[in-house]
Amino acid sequence: MTAQTLPTTRDSGADGRVPARLAAHGVRLAYDQRVIAERLDVEITPGSFTVIVGPNACGKSTLLRAMARLLKPAAGQILLDGKAIAQQSPKEVARKLGLLPQTSIAPDGIRVIDLVARGRHPHQSMLRQWSREDRAAVDSALELTGTDTLRNRFVDELSGGQRQRVWVAMLLAQESPTMLLDEPTTFLDIAHQYDLLKLFARLNAEGRTIVAVLHDLNQAARFADTIVMMRDGEVVATGAPADVVTADNVERVFGLPCTVITDPHSGTPMIVAR
């Protein structure tokens, strides 16, 4: 792998800004002939909690898929730590970048611990399948997600909230410093949604970079430090929640007339539909 330093990355280092952990440069996203986005530019700062929001079919999940290397951009490139992601080996990428997809399938009759252990694949080889590091990573992932007591249960028997925690545990076992989350709270009730988001906030506070696609603007504003607002394959606004979640932007992007008030608990913006 040749260390490819791109002018943009070098420049951003020179002017004192932190180089992006993950960046999309002039990316064109398309499924076959259907173009989702043209010349998209997004930068994810290391250690940030970035949430991508936007109406249905605005391309936010597609962007996340491209950043996770699941979709090859038709043009432009995705950089991970300054290097083109397409030129790094999949296992190398998987050690740096984890993904919680919208849907995953738990094999029939698998136990929690065996599923979580599968997250160790990027660190394993033909011979080395269950080292001390693997065991320690799985144990700590189970503990962090509060699924330690479920370790010998069958995944099929768990409730939706527990199951999502187990998938997060698998992602944690991967020990990637950056985590991409595609609508992680979609099928959960409100209490489980907050539980999970608080867990991500804690992981972020411990130094992980988090990029999530969320539907709920209030949750996005409360947990993110950066919000990327998209519409029709374009980034409409990027920045701190207070700057992005404004009545103007929400009406322009979602077509929803609203009032923005301040969340009494967190002091973050909160929208109320008119």
Partner 1 sequence: MSALDTRPPRMLEIERGPLTRRISLRGALAVILALTAALLVSILALSLGDFVISPGDVIATLFGMGTPKQTLVVVEWRLPRALLALMLGAALGAAGAIFQSMTRNPLGSPDIIGFDAGAYTGALIVITSGTFGYLTIALGAFGGGLVAALAVYLLAFRRGFQGFRLIIVGIAVGSMLASVTSWLILNSELRVSMMAASWGMGTLNGAGWDRIVPAVACLVPLGVLCAVMADRMHLLEMGDDTAAALGVRTGRVRALLLVAGVGFSAVVITLAGPIAFIALAAPQIARRVARSAGVTLSGAAAFGALLLATSDLIAQRLFAPTQLPVGLVTVVLGGGYLVWLLIHEARRRR
Q: E-assigned strands of 15-101? A: 22-31, 34-44, 49-53, 75-80, 83-84, 97-100
Q: Which residue carries 């973050």 as its tokens?
A: 268
* CA atoms of 248 and 252, how far apart (whole Å): 6
Least spacing, CB of residue 163 vs partner 1, in Å: 13
Q: Which of 25, 60, 65, 208 binds partner 1 (CB under 8 A)?
A: 65
DSSP per residue, 133-145: HHHHHHHHHHHHT
Give the bridge partners for 102, in sequence order.
none
Q: Is 69 in the site for partner 1 (CB under 8 A)?
A: yes
Q: Which of 40, 68, 144, 237 binds partner 1 (CB under 8 A)?
A: 68
Least spacing, CB of residue 128 vs partner 1, in Å: 5
Nearer to partner 1, 150 or 270 (CB): 150
Nearer to partner 1, 135 or 202 (CB): 135
Least spacing, CB of residue 110 vs partner 1, in Å: 3
Least spacing, CB of residue 244 vs partner 1, in Å: 28
* CA atoms of 274 and 257, how far apart (whole Å): 6
**Distance, C-alpha 100 to centroid of its chain:** 7
Nearer to partner 1, 31 or 259 (CB): 31
**H helix or E strand, kind and range, residue 63:** helix 60-67
Burial class (CB in 10 A: 0-12, 13-18, 19+), 30: middle
Nearer to partner 1, 56 or 103 (CB): 103
Instruction: State whether residue 146 is helix, strand or coil.
Output: coil
Nearer to partner 1, 114 or 216 (CB): 114
Under rule CB under 8 A, how many of the chain's residues touch partner 1?
Answer: 49
Phi, psi for 120 (deg, rounded to 5): -85, -5
Least spacing, CB of residue 201 vs partner 1, in Å: 22
Least spacing, CB of residue 173 vs partner 1, in Å: 10
**Site residues for partner 1, window 96-125 (CB under 8 A)?**
97-99, 101-111, 114-115, 117-119, 121-122, 124
For 15, 16, 220, 252, the CA distances from 238, given in Å and listed in that order, are 20, 20, 13, 14
Least spacing, CB of residue 27 vs partner 1, in Å: 18
Yes or no: say if 169 and 104 are a contact pair by the CB < 8 Å rule.
no
Please list, in sequence order, all residues whose beta carbon lies within 8 angstroms of the beta carbon of residue 31, skipping any fewer than 6 positions away: 62, 71
**Site residues for partner 1, window 166-225 (CB under 8 A)?**
174
**Site residues for partner 1, window 129-168 (CB under 8 A)?**
129-131, 134-135, 151-154, 157
Q: Is 238 in the site for partner 1 (CB under 8 A)?
A: no
Least spacing, CB of residue 139 vs partner 1, in Å: 13
Q: What is the contact surface with partner 1 in residues (CB under 8 A)? A: 31-32, 65, 68-70, 89-95, 97-99, 101-111, 114-115, 117-119, 121-122, 124, 126-131, 134-135, 151-154, 157, 174
